Structure 1
Amino acid sequence: MVLSVLDLGRLDYATGLALQKTLVELRHQQRTGNVLLLLEHPPVLTLGRNSSRANILASDEFLAKRGVELHEINRGGDVTYHGPGQLVGYPIFDLRSFSPRLGAVEYVRKVEEVLIRACGDFGIPTQRIAGRTGVWTLAGGSVLEKKIAAIGVHISRGITSHGFALNVTTDLRDFNLIVPCGIADREVTSMELEAATAPSMERVMHAVARYFGQVFEQQVLWLESLEDLLPSPAASPAQDTPLSFPKQLKHLTGEKETHFA
């Protein structure tokens, strides 16, 4: 199988949601394959299905003054923060396309494995913690584990959306706006703080894509344009979902060039 990967750069959260919705519907109709979107968001707080508004420590007025958006969404998990310097990934996968078919828990464990391996490439040992989704640094002495990556997914009729957020060079002070993922007894950290040398977003992005290919046993195909994700008109009969993407993303279409990694 082929996994299509697209670097969207910095993208506002609402547009990212609209794109996911379009791709999920196309995946349901088998009009596109498995896709991994990689991007950064401007400052935004997201509230998952199981979230508590009490875990947002700042007032709506303060958030507005800081230019921090707030979105209530359908992924699992509690409140989390996205912002510049954080690699966000949205896998749009059909769990039935794998052999054997993946269940929800196994899928999340595999995403954790991808991020653990990627952190390892930069000399950052990480782990899972039983009962707590995400990726964490190792404890040592009086130092407790710190969360370096959050995971929150939504699965509809076997199709995944939302995904992970890996702190690369994130300004961690913004996490003071919330109780991250509702966990008050652990801190967050970043690859910049944990690695001997701060990695670039590009290097981290390529490491994550490579390990998605390895862990999910798919060949990684990097795309340059959203148009590459659309089936050709000849191969796709008329459907309810239009063969187009949200208008806010038109600047990402155009000349295309693909390469294997």
Structure 2
Amino acid sequence: MGASSEHSLLGEHDLEQALDVRRAIRSGRWTSHTSGLADDHVQGNVVILPQALAGDFLRYCQRNPKPCPVLAVSEPGDPMLPGLGTDIDIRTDVPRYRVWRHGELVDQPTDITGLWREDLVTFVIGCSFSFEQALLDAGLSLRHVDQKKNVAMYRTSIATEPAGPFCGPMVVSMRPMTAAAAIRAIQVTSRFPDVHGAPVHIGDPAQIGIADLSRPDYGDAVEVLPGELPVFWACGVTPQAALAQARPEFCITHAPGAMLITDLLNRQLASF
């Protein structure tokens, strides 16, 4: 089902309420990216791993807080995340999942209830969609939001700090901005370290190993217009690159851009 038809199913009131959006996701009425949904609410990237790997992955996140800011970690085998919201069930409340076996993507379901195991641990990692509302509130436009697209994401040549079997490149999200808007964006997003904070790079994408902005590794391309600079933030898809290196026998992630929407408010994550 396309994004535009799903928007009409949800309705304006539902888009304003995290719980109503999660119900639409759980029922299968929303299976697309979550950019622009429940704008005031914190969204999260999801990684679900066997307990045997959870300690190493937690250390990986702690060593790489810019791309991997941890918002919550579940108890083994518990699909609920009460610290993030009412009745959140990680098995049903993400629009689309990715299932990996030995580092290979094998499925992209909308429900993982049948795959659930008692040794699985869920990590929820901060998402740049959360600081986007602060950017919009500051009067900055975001092209992918205006065009109802998923944000463009790229693998870079910036190496993350390894932990156990987890290593790999940093993934970044990109938003084109004028120089003045980029300065304001730095000021705004610096207040949100739990959702990636300030940009990691501005300008020439080749300096961080990106050859072609029109060909993102994840998400949708948007044009960088004359007089604009590409502005890059660390991205919570970075763990998926690390999982590809670690090649665990089994793990589950969110599909890029298809986030878990929580009951937390974005303003609660502001550090000042």
TM-score using structure 2 length = 0.28
Ranked by relative contact order (alpha carbons within 8 Å, sequence separation 6 or more), the top structure is 2
Query: More strand per residue: 1 or 2?
Result: 1
**Structure 1 length as normaliser, TM-score?**
0.29
